[in-house]
Amino acid sequence: MVDKRFYSVVGGDKNPDKHKMFNNCLVLCTSSQKLHCTTGKNKGQKLQPSTFDKHLEQLTIAFTEKGIKHNYANDFNKNGQFHGAAVVKTMWGKIREKHPSFGTGSDCARTDLQLCRKFIQAIRDKKTRPHDNPEHLVICVVIIITH
């Protein structure tokens, strides 16, 4: 019953009061500072800023299913809109003192620099046949669009 009251108050058309209430909910989520990596080489460490933003965006998408129209990416992810940012930025600043590369994208997945050459060679060697195989054609289009 309690969650229905929450959604009935914060859900529906956006207004400044609902924005403030939902912002306070996001601040509670971030102020607990329990957002850590659960897998990989950074397991147990705080989330990088880009991952943190993606998690909050996914959280607001889950709330959308309950009728809340506010979205982190559109309504909170600009300077001054998300009031938990000060807490998070302070935390990230302390982490950067120990690990200067934190939040710089140094852990981002990188595409093999030779990918295009390897793909062209695969077409020449007839290992990839975009003219005959629709799946190979889709892969070809994806590589062209992303490079």
Domain ranges of the chain: 2-98, 115-146
Residues pairing with 36 in the sheet:
46
Residue by residue, pLDDT tens for the chain (147 residues) are 556 788 888 888 888 888 888 887 777 776 555 667 777 777 877 777 777 777 777 878 888 888 888 877 777 766 556 655 666 677 777 878 887 877 666 666 666 778 888 888 999 999 999 889 999 889 888 888 776
Q: What is d(CA 62, CA 65) in angstroms, rounded to the nearest whole number?
A: 6
Is pTM, for the whole model, over 0.95?
no
- The closest of 77, 66, 67, 98 to 30, measured between CA atoms, is 77
Task: Let me know if 60 is exposed, middle or buried by CB neighbors in 10 A (0-12, 13-18, 19+).
Answer: buried
Distance, in Å, from the CA atom of 135 to the CA atom of 141, rounded to the nearest integer, reads 10
Q: Residues with Cβ < 8 Å from 102, sequence gap 6 or more?
A: 48, 92, 95, 96
Do the beta carbons of residue 83 and residue 19 sit within 8 Å? Answer: no
